[in-house]
Amino acid sequence: MKKVISTDKAPAAIGPYSQAIEANGTLYISGQLPVDPATGNIPEGIEAQSEQVFKNIAAILEEAGYEFKDVVKSTCLLSDMVNFKAMNEVYAKHYTTDFPARAAFAVKELPLGVLIEIETIAVK
């Protein structure tokens, strides 16, 4: 059974998609952008943007009853691979053991001109 997950503690979708979908004990979180849901602002720099993305992921995980320890896969989209090291340092603060599988890609552009977007899958 499919359940739509939504919270005002993460930015609203900017298109025809859900923040997350839970199906059969698996949570699929749409790519999260570094938008502060309270202000709509985007912080400057890759470190601050990465931190905001993780705040948004954490809010969705919490809303659905999951934790970072439940994450099994992350897909990190970067505007430039020069930002990989800084993103990875922030990433390592949230995943300290039993790391999820991950892919990281540089893409031509990201929505709203941001530097990072992360898609997440968690399983209970």
Burial 8-33 (b: 16+ CB within 10 A, else e): eebbeeeeeeebbbbeeeebbbbbbb
Percent of the chain with pLDDT over 90: 97
14 pLDDT above the threshold of 90: no
1 pLDDT above the threshold of 90: no
40: tokens are 């709509």
Q: How far is CA 73 from the centre of its chain?
A: 11
4 pLDDT above the threshold of 90: yes
Question: In sequence order, which residues have a C-beta less than 8 Å from that of residue 13 and are 6 or more positions away?
Answer: 19, 30
pLDDT, the chain, mean: 97
- Using pLDDT thresholds of 50, 70 and 90, give the confidence band for residue 96: very high
| Domains of the chain and CATH, by start | 2-123 (3.30.1330.40)
Distances (CA, A) of 86 to 51, 64, 79: 11, 28, 13
Segment 7-13 shows an average pLDDT of 95
Task: Say what the pLDDT of residue 92 is.
Answer: 97
Instruction: List pLDDT tens digits, range 34-62.
Output: 999 999 999 999 999 999 999 999 999 99
Instruction: List pLDDT tens digits, range 97-121.
Output: 999 999 999 999 999 999 999 999 9
- pTM (2 decimals)? 0.96
